Homo-oligomer: A and B are copies of this chain.
Amino acid sequence: MPQQVVIIGGVALGPKAACRFKRLQPESNVIMLDRSPRISYGGCGIPYYVSGEVSDITGLQSTAFHMVRDPEFFRDIKDVDARSETEVVAIDRAAKTVTARHLPTGREDVIPYDKLVMATGSSPRKLPIAGVDLPGVHTVDSLEAAEAIKKSVSAGGVGSVAVIGSGFIGLEMAVAFADMWGLDVTVIELFDQILPGVTGPTLSTMARKHMEEKGVVFRLAEQVKAIEGDGKVERVVTDKGEVEADLVILSVGVVPNSGLAKAAGLDVSPRGGVIVDEFMRTSDPDIYAGGDCVEVKNLVTGQPMYLPLGSMANRQGRVIGDNLAGGASRFEGVVGSWCVKLFDLAAAGTGLTQAQAERAGFNAVTTHITAVDRAHFYPEHALVSLELVAERGTKRVLGLQGVGTMGDALVGKINTVAAMLPHKPTVADVSNVEVAYSPPFASAMDILNTVANAADNILSGQNKGISVTEFAALWDNAASGVHIIDCRENPQGGPLVEKHPGRWHNIPQGQLRGRLNEVPKDKPVVLMCNTGARSYEALVTLADAGFQNVVSVEGGMAAVKAAGVDV
């Protein structure tokens, strides 16, 4: 039976749900309302529009074959009644109507619905400080904001940019300003690392170091107190000083737009996300919701999670489209996969970090590897760093994060583990996961298998690893009294012995069994090699010989270098 479906929001989830539903039930009527002038765009592309990589903003609003997704497109191609600049101001669930205000004219219409979809999205989190409304302070939340940012940069009056917040959008914007416009960019972050929440300290340091080499300045553990300027922004004031800036990007996260849902009496979580079941249905069975305005289940922790990503909106939109048409499609939840390109480096992850795992109550341990991806003899290969988070005891895999310059390859590994996470894989499952192999694409023992093998060695007590971050702390603290044994061949391990007499020692791993008398039994020994493989073998040799107080640096000198530890 034909229905009337009203969809509130026309950016990502709304259009997807509308089109899917119309294909399943062409005889039904769909009205899609959005308060913005432009609908159905790829907001995730804004940094690439600002950088200039996407030259025309309509590219973000077009299909792959250059048709602009405007209301006419939805009418002609999709048979959907899309109305822009139209804000829904109230929902009457008893009467099953919405009140929609046409913003240019102020006219209000009461529109009846059989089924309603809330696709109201999110808004940038605002900081409760002075100056956030000064000209030159921007959030990155709409095509209009994107155009304003690009216009001011193009006009030439911007020399320095301050980015507040080092999440995905903040860093993507930092890259856009530094890489393509050559501006002085300073990123200010409240936490003591970039990409807080989604990476551990070592990978975060590696990513920051890469960006610093490209000229971006970071100020970590610094709290923004005010934004100041005379008629326009001139500086950001923090608890530790000031940052001069002609333009400020505020990118400290987003919050779900759930006011309308709340006003209509729908269940909303304490953190503000609309609550939906696995069918993407709200507490009212005739109202669905999805995208940036909802919370979803984290399939690793079993707890609700807020994951505002365009990819979620698209997948959830199809599920809602199915269910509007009487289907019973499910969106079971998420594992929290992400990726970001930072100049030449990709960073990506899925599942939980060590800190997230601990917060969720897991006794977790992180294993780090820095290793060559692809057959090392194949000309095009590069180092990648991976961190696998697993639960002690059960050896359950909880998450995987990584950084590397071969971005597609890294993201492929992350996606592979993401696909396993709902099945609660163990480390052994990842040790044996079948990665397609030929020398141009992988190593015979793929790095995914390797990181799981390394984790297994750690979890079983066969290896005792420390991260390069832990190594740096030991190394910087002369009082730690550690005895470093470099297990590489002398041409590699020698120079550091000369540079640090008494602290740095060199016993090539192949000679270790014959030189056990040179290893002290009375102080902590740290083993170092190129990537952590030989130092692990050395640790096995020492353990077999009765040495207890020995650890191996995970990722070895490759990780030391990538993290910028000064040795």
Residues in chain A within 8 A of chain B (CB atoms):
12, 16, 23-24, 26-27, 42, 44-45, 48, 53-54, 59-60, 62-65, 67, 73, 76-79, 168, 172, 309-311, 313-315, 318-319, 329-332, 334-341, 346, 348-350, 371-372, 375-379, 406-409, 411-420, 423, 428, 431-442, 444-446, 449, 453, 462, 488-489, 509-511, 513, 530-531, 534, 536-537, 540-541, 544
Contact = CB atoms under 8 A, between A and B. Distances in A.
A377 B435 contact: no
A45 B436 contact: no
B314 A411 contact: no
Contacts of A337: 434-437
Contacts of A44: 375, 437-439, 444
Nearest to A77: B510
A440 to B, nearest CB: 4
A420 to B, nearest CB: 5
Contacts of A63: 376
A114 B355 CA distance: 46
21 contacts: A44-B437, A45-B377, A48-B377, A53-B379, A59-B377, A62-B376, A65-B531, A77-B509, A310-B437, A310-B444, A311-B446, A313-B444, A337-B436, A411-B412, A412-B412, A417-B419, A418-B433, A418-B434, A419-B420, A420-B420, A423-B423
Contact of A375 (B42, B67, B376): B42
Given A412-B415, A462-B23, A311 B435 contact: yes
A341 B408 contact: no
A10 to B, nearest CB: 15
A415 B409 CA distance: 11
Contacts of A433: 415, 418-419
B64 A441 contact: no
Contacts of A76: 510-511
A444 B409 contact: no
Nearest to A537: B23
Contacts of A350: 434, 436
Contact of A431 (B168, B315, B431, B534): B315
Given A415-B416, A432-B332, A376 B438 contact: no
A412 B435 CA distance: 9
Contacts of A445: 16, 311, 314-315, 318
Contacts of A24: 462
Contacts of A42: 375, 377, 439, 444
Contacts of A371: 64
Nearest to A556: B65
Interface of A is mostly: mixed
A383 to B, nearest CB: 9
Given A45-B439, A330-B432, A415-B416, 20 more contacts: A23-B462, A23-B540, A44-B444, A48-B378, A53-B378, A54-B379, A65-B488, A76-B510, A330-B428, A332-B432, A339-B437, A341-B438, A407-B441, A408-B408, A409-B412, A412-B416, A416-B419, A417-B419, A418-B435, A419-B433
Contact of A407 (B318, B440, B488): B440
Contacts of A67: 489
Given A329-B428, A435-B415, A315 B45 contact: no
Number of copies: 2
A510 B309 CA distance: 30
A411 B442 contact: yes
A314 B449 contact: yes
A434 B334 CA distance: 7
A537 B21 CA distance: 12
Contact of A438 (B12, B53, B340, B375): B340
Contacts of A77: 509-510, 534, 537
B348 A436 contact: yes
A415 B65 CA distance: 29
B64 A453 contact: no
B329 A441 contact: no
Nearest to A409: B408
Given A415-B416, A442-B411, A437 B531 contact: no
Contacts of A407: 440-441
A418 to B, nearest CB: 5
A73 B534 CA distance: 13
A489 B59 CA distance: 18
Nearest to A453: B318
B541 A26 contact: yes
Nearest to A307: B434
Given A436-B350, A544-B26, A311 B442 contact: yes
A323 to B, nearest CB: 12
A211 to B, nearest CB: 15
A466 to B, nearest CB: 19
A513 B418 CA distance: 42
Contacts of A313: 444
B408 A412 contact: yes
A59 B381 CA distance: 14
Nearest to A414: B436
Contacts of A332: 432
